[in-house]
Amino acid sequence: MPRRYLSWMVAAAAASKTIIEVTVVGKDRKGVVADITNFIFQNGGNIEKINQNVVRGLFGMQLEASFVQAKRKDLDAGLKDLAKKLQMEIKVHYQEPDRLRNVAILVSKEPHCIKRILAGRKKGEIKANLAVVIGSEPSLKPVADEAGIPFHSVSHADQAEAERNILDLIEKYNVDLIVLARYMRILTPNFVWRYPNRIINIHPSLLPAFPGAYAYVQAYERGAKIVGCTAHFVTEDLDQGPIICQESFKVSDSDTLDTIKKKGQELEAETLFEAVRLYLEGRLEVYWGKVLVHDKSPRGKATATTSS
């Protein structure tokens, strides 16, 4: 049996258990891995995945453990004590079975992507708890207020401080998925590595073409005949994460930069929404850097994502 199908079956079997993700960051020292893993075992957990590295003396570890019955208060208290003992930052995220996924939407000024997500939830096209909207500025607070979703504006005068504030909010709302709905700030690797395959971004080009800023301008100036957008998982490498969905449109001779942007924004909203929908339905799997989209058949057949 191919590995990718086997891993899909294992993930399905784990759906009945509570999964916790523990992230540990701090100055490198001996005994950290042993202390954390022993704590998990002593509390009845089984370690499913573990990844660790040390960069310039800074230790980082991601651990995923499953529990048939997780005692959240005991786990929280124990990990808090461990954080003090080890003098490290320890954050925990819970994935309980049969719970709506908690989604954080990060925004800046442009409303088209968040409005499509809100409309999709209202129509019943997605099932999720849109837990919080975090803005790099307060422009879209009225949109969140109208939908009854808590809004937090985080100043980016100091990027490190901004990301600490966002991390606290992600933990407070026990966020499962982070959606960058035209969030016009670059998250640092120190932030991104904590959430592997849990941050989805929409980029206004058919990646890998025209990465970075001003993608529509780049396409227009180069005379591109086909323009599109890409929904992808975010990694430490800018605009190079695994591709989930891509959509495109043809550029006519009469198109201007403004008309290209208008068509592109409409497509961005739909493409990002489709990626979010697939994630919430549990149909995405990343295998060797490629996103596989599973269908809904009992056999769990998988097909690789392709561009439109």
Q: Is 258 a catalytic residue?
A: no
Do the beta carbons of residue 95 and residue 104 sit within 8 Å? no
Cα 281–chain centre separation: 14
DSSP H or E stretch at residue 272: helix 257-280
The three-class DSSP label of residue 19 is strand
Strand order in the sheet with 151-153: 151-153, 129-135, 102-107, 177-180, 199-203, 226-233, 243-250
Q: What angle do CA 93, 202, 257 make, to 5 degrees?
A: 160
Among the options 176, 239, 258, 295, which is catalytic? 239
Angstrom distance (rounded) from CA 253 to CA 45: 61
CA–CA dist 146, 144 (Å, integer)? 5
Long-range contacts of 115-119 (CB under 8 A, 24+ apart): 115/143, 115/269, 116/269, 116/270, 116/272, 116/273, 117/179, 117/181, 117/272, 117/273, 117/276, 118/143, 118/147
Question: Residue 210: which H helix or E strand, with range?
Answer: none
Spatial strand order of the sheet with 290-294 comes to 284-287, 290-294, 302-304
Which residues are catalytically annotated? Answer: 239
